[in-house]
């Protein structure tokens, strides 16, 4: 990317903007004219248009104005373009030259910033972005990119929640809600001691997390490592709600803050429906014959999918609290217990992982038949995650790898990335945009850019036992371990 700015200073680029040819970009080393194509490609991106060819302008009735008329590139082309040259190129060009900055800040390039935003964060806008829909896409992209581009560039600080006011057993699952610019947010955690806690981040917590304290990051880690949360400790989230009622360990959670709906599943073979305001259990969904190990909601929280150690996939109507249908276990063999599931509504499918199976199963929501499988892992699959309208998803396995899948690719090439680095089984993984975070039995949490599979962006070390669960947002990572601790990592 640097040579683009250098070339801009050395020479005046040609004004003859050609339609970008993205096919040679897949093999950069073998493309002799790669630099020339990248220059024309970058200028075409800045203008955000493709000119009508001269042959088109010779049609009857065509004028000079028609020849200069421009149209946006289709989203499919932008997806390939941004794969070869990341949206950070826009920021580099904007900072390299005043003329480029003026051009990129003009209203005509607003849709270009929108394409860059959607390319980097496939799940779409945050809640805070939707609240300010009048804000230009350029502002939204640059505000979020500052945090996004600094992932793994600094030593993170960590706040440890453990002891009297925290869980007394292994932290089995966590969920981290959106934290706006003001810093207010929430987090959920559950444990095998049967408890579910709701934590609240106050603005003072985020101010401490987002600001730069006088102590260096390395010293901050040493000072906060294994610090127990106290009621007046503003560096840690405060516990505001607690839910008891699951008879035994809680293995999975699902929470919708807007609908004020909390669901939990555990070893008592039930799914509990909680009211987060009153902290009361409103309903108990029964039907599984074994532990409920995974949950996933669809249709704006009206339908729930649950999987258990009995290997059965069940669908529930959360309004009537009735079971709609049941499927499985795979091959009719009950030994294939379900360890994880993910709902991909954009593709009309549910993905499931089972013990003693080294491939993922894809269930069609219309026919509820197992249409295809995704093979590639060399061990049992312990975690799957997909988010938003993007069809891509990630999985973690006993073979110590994280795999990135794209169902749009040919069947034998659906695995588009393998993230290696863990020395133990991957127990949980989360994907948001082009970033992923994984937790492992090697006691570490690793941060990834799924486009760069060579090495993780950062490795978070601090837990003294296996890390069972993880979740993250732009600035923070939340992890839970068998050492009974819940850690909040501030990575930016």
pLDDT, one tens digit per residue, over 402-437 is: 999 988 888 888 899 999 999 999 999 999 888 999
Looking up tokens 């869980």 gives 167
Looking up tokens 């790898």 gives 401
Q: Is there a single domain that holds both residue 330 and residue 213?
A: yes
> Is 429 within 8 Å of 385 (Cβ atoms)?
yes
Sign for the pseudo-dihedral over CA of 13, 15, 18, 19? positive
Integer Cα distance of 275 and 264 in angstroms:
12
pLDDT of residue 222: 31
Exposure string of 45-66, with b = 16+ CB inside 10 Å and e = fewer, is bbebbbbbeeeebeeeeeeeee
Give the mean model confidence (pLDDT) for residues 81-109: 75
Give the mean model confidence (pLDDT) for residues 27-34: 43
CB hemisphere CA count around 46 (13 angstroms): 23
Q: Is there a single domain that holds both residue 407 and residue 370?
A: yes
> Is 138 within 8 Å of 113 (Cβ atoms)?
yes
Integer Cα distance of 92 and 328 in angstroms:
52
Q: Which residues contact 492 (CB under 8 A, 6 or more apart)?
A: 147, 150, 151, 154, 210, 474, 475
Q: Model confidence at 260, in pLDDT bands (50, 70, 90)? A: confident
> Is 376 within 8 Å of 396 (Cβ atoms)?
no
Burial, 21: exposed, middle or buried (Cβ in 10 Å; 0-12, 13-18, 19+)?
Answer: exposed
Which pair of tokens denotes residue 270?
Answer: 């039930």
Integer Cα distance of 491 and 102 in angstroms:
33
Q: Is there a single domain that holds both residue 206 and residue 276?
A: yes
The sheet with strand 393-397 has its strands ordered as 381-385, 393-397, 401-405, 415-420
pLDDT of residue 146: 77
Enter the DSSP assignment of 311: -
Does the pLDDT value for residue 111 go beyond 80? no
Enter the DSSP assignment of 452: B
Residue 163: give its domain's CATH number: 2.130.10.10
Q: Is there a single domain that holds both residue 181 and residue 123?
A: no
Q: Is there a single domain that holds both residue 38 and residue 70?
A: yes
Q: Is there a single domain that holds both residue 321 and residue 397?
A: yes
Does the pLDDT value for residue 254 go beyond 70? yes
Query: In 73-180, which ranges are continuous DSSP H helix?
Result: 75-84, 88-96, 98-104, 110-120, 127-131, 137-148
CA-based max dimension of the chain: 82
Boundary-marking domain end, from 130, 148, 166: 148
Q: Which residues contact 392 (CB under 8 A, 6 or more apart)?
A: 122, 386, 404, 405, 406, 416, 431
> Is 386 within 8 Å of 404 (Cβ atoms)?
no
Stretch among 6-10, 17-21, 322-326 having the lowest mean pLDDT: 17-21
330 or 50: which carries more pLDDT confidence? 330
Q: Is there a single domain that holds both residue 143 and residue 290?
A: no
Integer Cα distance of 189 and 174 in angstroms:
4
Stretch among 1-15, 28-42, 123-137, 212-226 having the lowest mean pLDDT: 212-226
Q: How far is CA 399 from the centre of its chain?
A: 22
Domains contained in the chain, number? 2
pLDDT of residue 122: 62
Integer Cα distance of 8 and 67 in angstroms:
27
Q: Dihedral through CA 224, CA 226, CA 229, CA 233, nearest 10?
A: -10
What is the SS3 assignment for 247?
A: coil
**Phi and psi for 180 in degrees, rounded to 5?**
-70, 180
CB hemisphere CA count around 441 (13 angstroms): 13
pLDDT, one tens digit per residue, over 286-319 is: 999 999 999 998 877 789 999 999 999 999 999 8
Q: Is there a single domain that holds both residue 240 and residue 103?
A: no
The domain in which residue 85 lies consists of: 2-148
Q: Model confidence at 58, in pLDDT bands (50, 70, 90)? A: very low
> Is 185 within 8 Å of 126 (Cβ atoms)?
no
> Is 469 within 8 Å of 484 (Cβ atoms)?
no
Q: How far is CA 114 from the centre of its chain?
A: 19
Stretch among 181-185, 215-219, 427-431 having the lowest mean pLDDT: 215-219
pLDDT, one tens digit per residue, over 322-374 is: 999 998 788 888 889 999 999 888 778 899 999 888 889 998 888 878 877 89
Boundary-marking domain end, from 148, 183, 206: 148
Looking up tokens 């704006």 gives 300
Give the mean model confidence (pLDDT) for residues 29-45: 49
Does the pLDDT value for residue 384 go beyond 90? yes
Q: Is there a single domain that holds both residue 104 and residue 182?
A: no
pLDDT of residue 257: 81
Stretch among 37-51, 121-135, 312-326, 447-461 having the lowest mean pLDDT: 37-51
Cis peptide before 329 (omega within 30 of 0): yes
Integer Cα distance of 423 and 31 in angstroms:
37
Q: Is there a single domain that holds both residue 162 and residue 288?
A: yes
Q: Dihedral through CA 103, CA 107, CA 109, CA 110, nearest 10?
A: 140
Q: Is there a single domain that holds both residue 28 and residue 118?
A: yes
Closest CA to 115 of 94, 98, 90: 90
Closest CA to 156 of 220, 214, 201, 226: 220
Give the mean model confidence (pLDDT) for residues 462-483: 93
Integer Cα distance of 424 and 441 in angstroms:
5
Which pair of tokens denotes residue 303?
Answer: 């339908």
Pairing of strands 157-161, 171-176: unpaired
Boundary-marking domain end, from 117, 148, 179: 148
Q: Model confidence at 8, in pLDDT bands (50, 70, 90)? A: very low
Q: Is there a single domain that holds both residue 168 and residue 120?
A: no
Residues written for the chain:
492
């Amino acid at each position: 990317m640097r040579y683009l700015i250098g070339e801009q200073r050395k020479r005046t680029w040609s004004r003859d903007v050609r339609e970008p040819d993205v096919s040679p970009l897949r093999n950069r080393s073998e493309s002799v004219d790669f630099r020339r194509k990248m220059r024309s490609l970058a200028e075409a991106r800045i203008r955000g248009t493709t000119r009508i060819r001269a042959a088109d302008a010779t049609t009857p009735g065509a004028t000079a104005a028609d020849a200069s008329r421009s149209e946006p590139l289709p989203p499919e082309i932008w997806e390939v373009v941004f794969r070869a040259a990341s949206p950070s190129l826009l920021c580099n060009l904007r900072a390299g030259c005043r003329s480029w900055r003026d051009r990129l800040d003009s209203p005509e390039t607003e849709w270009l910033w929108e394409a860059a935003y959607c390319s980097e964060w496939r799940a779409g806008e945050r809640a805070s972005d939707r609240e300010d829909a009048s804000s230009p896409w350029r502002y939204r992209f640059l505000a979020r990119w500052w945090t996004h581009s600094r992932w793994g560039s600094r030593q993170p600080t960590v706040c440890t929640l453990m002891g009297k006011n925290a869980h007394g057993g292994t932290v089995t699952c966590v969920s981290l809600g959106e934290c706006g610019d003001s810093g207010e947010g929430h987090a959920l955690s559950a444990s095998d001691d049967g408890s579910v806690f709701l934590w609240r981040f106050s603005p003072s917590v985020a101010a401490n997390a987002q600001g730069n304290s006088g102590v260096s990051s390395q010293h901050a880690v040493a000072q906060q490592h294994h610090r127990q949360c106290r009621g007046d400790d503003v560096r840690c989230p405060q516990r505001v709600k607690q839910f008891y009622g699951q008879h035994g360990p809680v293995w999975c959670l699902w929470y919708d803050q807007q609908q004020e709906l909390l669901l939990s599943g555990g070893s008592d073979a039930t799914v509990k429906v909680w009211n987060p305001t009153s902290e009361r259990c409103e309903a108990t969904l029964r039907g599984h014959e074994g532990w409920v190990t995974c949950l996933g909601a669809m249709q704006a929280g009206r339908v729930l999918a649950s999987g258990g150690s009995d290997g059965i996939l069940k669908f529930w109507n959360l309004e009537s609290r009735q079971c709609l249908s049941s499927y499985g276990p795979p091959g009719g063999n009950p030994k294939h217990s379900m360890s994880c599931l993910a709902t991909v509504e954009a593709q009309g499918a549910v993905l499931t992982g089972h013990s003693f199976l080294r491939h993922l199963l894809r269930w069609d929501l219309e026919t509820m038949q197992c249409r295809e499988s995704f093979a590639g892992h060399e061990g049992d699959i312990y975690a799957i995650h997909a988010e938003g309208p993007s069809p891509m998803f990630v999985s973690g396995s006993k073979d110590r790898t994280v795999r990135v899948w794209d169902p749009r690719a040919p069947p034998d090439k659906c695995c588009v990335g393998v993230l290696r680095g863990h020395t133990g089984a991957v127990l949980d993984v989360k994907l948001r945009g082009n970033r992923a975070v994984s937790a492992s039995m090697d006691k570490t949490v690793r941060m990834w850019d799924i486009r760069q599979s060579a090495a993780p962006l950062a490795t978070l070390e601090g837990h003294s036992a296996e890390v069972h669960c993880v979740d993250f947002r732009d600035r923070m990572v939340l992890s839970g371990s068998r050492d009974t601790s819940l850690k909040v990592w501030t990575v930016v």
